[in-house]
Structure formats: C-alpha cells, structure tokens
Chain A
Amino acid sequence: MSSPEEKTLILKSSDNEEFLVKESVAVQCITIKNLVEDGCDLDAIPLLNVDSKNLAWIIEFMEKYADSTSTDAEKKDFDTEFVKKPFNDVLGLILAANYLNFPALMDVMCDACANEMKLWSVEQVREKFHIQNDYTEEEEKAVRAENFWAFE
C-alpha cells in the first residue's frame, strides 16, 4: 500500500506536455495542494496558464526546495544560478508562480526582478515592462518633484 508521500502526480502544461512529480513536492504550489485536498481525481492536472518551458523550471525549483538534505547555503547558491535568466523569463516565472500560488518561487523571482530594476531609469522600466506612461505632463512633474530621491 503506497503512503501519500510516495504518490506521484501528472502535471500537464498548457502545451500538453506531461510531467511526473511527487505529490509531496508538488503541493508546495498551494493551487495544486488545494486541488489534491479537494479530491481531484483527474489523471493529469491541467495547468492552463503554464507552458512546458516554465513548468520544467518550476519543477526543478520545487524539487530543490523539497529536498530536506539541501542546506540554506545550498539553496541560496541554487537561487543565484536559477535566476540567471533573460528578464522576460524572470517575469514569466513570476506570473506562473502567482498562478500556481507558490510563495517560495515568487519571493526568489520578485527579488531577482527588483535586483534587475536597480539603477534603471523610470523610462527603462517602462520599456522593459511595455508600460505606457499614463501620467500627464503636469502629473509627472508633480510626481518627480515629490519623489526627488529617485532622480539624481
């Protein structure tokens, strides 16, 4: 008789690729944990907003963090290497972590994002995030005047 810890789940990405993951590892994602607890009896859990590229990374991250033998220092080293991805991939993982409700991954990726944003000008931030500036000229002046700290 298999105990719950040994149960394996099948996670299916948005592009229909299937990944085998131990349940004890996968439940770090609260979304998956809730599905399991609610008695989801599907063969595979479909993750409609996560493609295979991101899902593979997420599983890599989950397995490292579920490993009770890895020390805090080792996890930190792992994080340092893990976040060395193009900025668009960093944002992709943030969205996926949000969808899956995976706090540990969210923290690491948001930290990496904030790190990239250091020393960016406001214009550069807008460019990287494809954001339209919705301040009027007057409003922008007022914001800059109030927040003089940023603008050396």
Chain B
Amino acid sequence: MADWTDLPMDILVVIAQCLTVIEDFTSFTAVCKSWQSVTSILKKKPSLPTRYPRIMLAEKIDTEDQQNRDDQDASIRCFLNLLTSKTYQLQLPEARGRKCTGAHYGWLWTIGIDLQINLLHPFSRQQICLPPMLTLPDQYVYDERFMPQEVWGVFVAKIVMSSNPLKDKCLHDYNEDCTIVAIYGEYAILVFTKLGDTVWTNISVQSRVYQDIIFYNGKFYAVDVHGVVVVCDFDDANGPKAIVIAPAPIETNDTYQKYLVESSGHLLLVARFRKGISLNFDDDVDDEEEGDDNEEDMGDVDGNVNVDEVEDVKDCGNEEEKEAGYYTTGFFVWRLDECHEEGSNYAYRLTQVTSLGDQALFLGSNVSTSVASSESIKPNCIYFTDDNYELYFEEPGGGGHDTGIFNMEDKTTQLNYAGESRSNISPPLWYI
C-alpha cells in the first residue's frame, strides 16, 4: 500500500498542471505547505477559467480627488462572490485606469489611454498584447482638437475569442488557432485578428451597429441593432464577410439591446429593453418611452408590468438609483432554429422562447454566457450588468446601477448588486 504523504514534487507539479479551473488550483495549494510550493516551481499562477461567476466591481477611485488618490487602492479590484455576497480584493495594477470588460475563459480585455488593447487574466496577472486601437482599420478623422485619447473608452465595444488563448495543459504557449472578433468604431462594425497578428482586419458587413458576437459550433455569429443575425465566413476568396442567416424578429425594435448566447446547445437571441426615464414616481407611468408602447403590444407581456416594475425599483430605496437615467425592465428571448421552409431566404428562423429551463443567462459587457443553476444561481433567470457604455460614459456617477436579475417566469426585474460600484469607464461586469 503506497504512501501518499510524500508524493514527489515533480508528480505534484504534473497533477497541478492538469487542473482546469482556478478554484481547483487554489484548493490544491491550500492543502499543505509542500503542495503550496508547487506555485513557486511553476513560477506563476495558471491562467485558468473560473467555475463560478462573480462580479468584478468597478475601480474604487474618486475621480474628483486625483491628487490624494492612494496608489494602492487604485490597483485593487474587488470581486463579489454571488453565493456569500462577500467581496474580495485582488491586486491588479494592470487594470488601473483601464476599461476592463469581456470576461471569457477567465480572461478580461483592457484598453486604456495608451490605446493598447491587452488580454489580462486577473488570477495569474498574465497579459497578452493584441494589436493596438490605432490598427483598427476605420478610425475617426483625428486632429489637434479631437484625438484618439478621447474615444478609447468607447471605441471598442466587444471582443470575443474562439478559444482560450493559451493551449490546453501547456499553459505557456499561445493557441495559434485562436481567432478574435470585435465590434468597434463609429459604426460598430466587425473586425478580427489572430494571436500574433499586428493589425486588425475588417469583416465585410452589409449593415452597421452590431451589438453582440458569440462563438458557437465552430463559427462566429453576430447580431445587429435591428436583430438581424449574421455568421462570419473566413473562407471567402474576397476576404472575410458576414452573411445574414436570420431576419430580425418582428417583436423587437432598435431601442432594445441585442445579445447572442448559447444555452442548452441552442443559439439564443436576447433583446433587453430599458426605460430611460428618471424615477419620478408621481408621473412616471405617463413618461413613457417608445419602448413601453411596444411592450404593451406584446401578447406575452403582462399589461400591469409597468406598475410592478416601478414598485420593484422603489423597494431598492437607493438614492443613487432614483437619480439614474435608465434601467432595464425586461427581456425577450428567441431561439435560432434551422429553417427548412421552401422559399425561405434564410437558413434559420427565430422562435420565441419563454423558458430557459435550468439555465441562467449572464449578459452585459462580458461574453454572453449560460450557466447551469446552482445554490447561488437561480434557474430561468437573466443576470445582467450595466453595459450601456454610450450612456454611462457621460452619466453622472457613471454606469453600474442598471444591474440585476430578470425572472423569465414572472417577468419581474430586481435591481440587485447595484451597491455603490459605479464608473464612467469600467462599471461592474460578470467575471465568468
């Protein structure tokens, strides 16, 4: 009978390198001191995905008080554990003053006033450089009054990867097959690069204002502001292009923010609607945006939804939220199914979906993800963060208030996790 108490260090190192999520790695190092010494042999922590979603809170800096800004504080980012509601602090100087978004496989991407775009892993603090902002093909026309340093916070909207940028098990080598697609620029069009490239290359599109991208079944799909879904074709002889595969659903309009997410093996299109009114409770029912009119026309939506939602928000009782300019009131979900109808112009059609089953969607500035329900994650819900960067960039106090959970079953929205974490550049996001 073998004795495991003195497993040779080289075996421990191999086992540690087989672990696939951060949580397993940190449990490993907490077992005993010799197991912990594996970290010094590996020289750095691995850049692994995480098992549980967390919220990465905004930077804790007082933008009014630059001079007394404590260097330490600005380098710390807090992560909120959904189960325990405890926050934990991580030293992350690489994120300081930068917009951090797009969590995927445990990686964030950041952009800053230096116009550099990097992938950053908060656990290992590893960074991978992507081609900088100025290599994106379609730039604004800059001059001495309008410099790129003014638009870095909004110029790149989303970045999605086809895989972990590092090769499995051999976590120091880049995965050369990793393709990265982004939405960028004045017209929110599509662009791509591969690890090791020095520039970004446009993907030819027929429309503009894309709002989300997802990598699903080996391909990149994107959705535009109208709700039209496209697939990216990288094999065309004339260069990469986007091909329409499904028309916009009739129940949506351009004011609803669109997302694409994979859930239970299907590709889903999700539309998020917000109210843009300030919360003046006496006359808010009259102050309706065009989005509300459309809601009332929807067969699925409860006619009393406006009143219920206002009451939900009232209960939050947070002074900051009452002054917020916009907040989410609901979602619609469609599933993309292959279309075999004769005479149809499209390969897919959209079917409205009223339940997510045991899954929960996590939407926002992260890569849209579906997670199985658990002790801390409710099924059939949509967890959302504030990703309305066009508005929060200018919003007093910054974005971050429009964060919460939408229940697909009773169609209520609970503003949650809002707290005091707000930023004009990098509000809270799901870290998955």
In the bound complex, do residue A143 and residue B27 qualify as a contact, i.e. CB atoms below 8 Å apart?
Answer: no
Contacts of A132 in B (CB 8 A): 5, 32
A118 sits at the interface (CB 8 A): yes
In the bound complex, do residue A134 and residue B32 qualify as a contact, i.e. CB atoms below 8 Å apart?
Answer: yes
Residue among A117, A129, A133, A148 making CB contact with B88, cutoff 8 Å = A148
Shortest distance from the beta carbon of A146 to any chain B beta carbon, whole Å: 8
Q: Which of A55-110 contact B (CB under 8 A)?
A: 88, 91-92, 94-95, 98, 106-107, 110
Name B83's closest neighbour in chain A (CB-CB): A152
A7 sits at the interface (CB 8 A): no
Contacts of A1 in B (CB 8 A): none
State how many residues of chain A have any CB contact under 8 Å with chain B. 35
In the bound complex, do residue A131 and residue B5 qualify as a contact, i.e. CB atoms below 8 Å apart?
Answer: yes
B343 sits at the interface (CB 8 A): no
B341 sits at the interface (CB 8 A): no
Question: Which of A's residues lie within 8 Å of B, judged by CB?
Answer: 88, 91-92, 94-95, 98, 106-107, 110-111, 113-115, 117-118, 120-122, 125-126, 129-135, 140, 143-144, 147-150, 152
Contacts of A126 in B (CB 8 A): 31-32
In the bound complex, do residue B36 and residue A143 qualify as a contact, i.e. CB atoms below 8 Å apart?
Answer: yes
Residue among A88, A120, A131, A133 making CB contact with B27, cutoff 8 Å = A120
A-B pairs with CB below 8 Å: how many? 100
Q: A125-B27, A134-B32, A152-B84 are in contact. Are A114 and B2 (CB under 8 A)?
A: no
Residue among A88, A106, A114, A125 making CB contact with B31, cutoff 8 Å = A125
Residue among B3, B8, B30 making CB contact with A147, cutoff 8 Å = B30
Question: Which of B's residues lie within 8 Å of A, judged by CB?
Answer: 1-5, 7-8, 10-11, 14-15, 17-36, 50, 52, 79, 81, 83-84, 86, 88, 123, 376
What's the dominant secondary structure at chain A's contact region?
Answer: helix
Q: A111-B18, A135-B33 are in contact. Are A117 and B24 (CB under 8 A)?
A: yes
A-B contact pairs, 16 of them (CB 8 A): A88-B2, A95-B2, A98-B8, A114-B19, A114-B24, A117-B28, A122-B30, A125-B27, A131-B5, A131-B31, A131-B32, A134-B32, A147-B30, A148-B79, A150-B24, A150-B26
In the bound complex, do residue A110 and residue B30 qualify as a contact, i.e. CB atoms below 8 Å apart?
Answer: no
Q: A117-B28, A125-B31 are in contact. Are A149 and B15 (CB under 8 A)?
A: no
In the bound complex, do residue A110 and residue B83 qualify as a contact, i.e. CB atoms below 8 Å apart?
Answer: no
Closest 4 CB pairs of A and B: A114-B18, A147-B26, A150-B26, A148-B88
Name A117's closest neighbour in chain B (CB-CB): B24
Q: A113-B18, A148-B88, A149-B50 are in contact. Are A130 and B30 (CB under 8 A)?
A: no
Residue among A98, A120, A152 making CB contact with B11, cutoff 8 Å = A98
Q: How far is the CA of A95 from the CA of B86 in the complex (A)?
A: 40
Contacts of A125 in B (CB 8 A): 27-28, 31
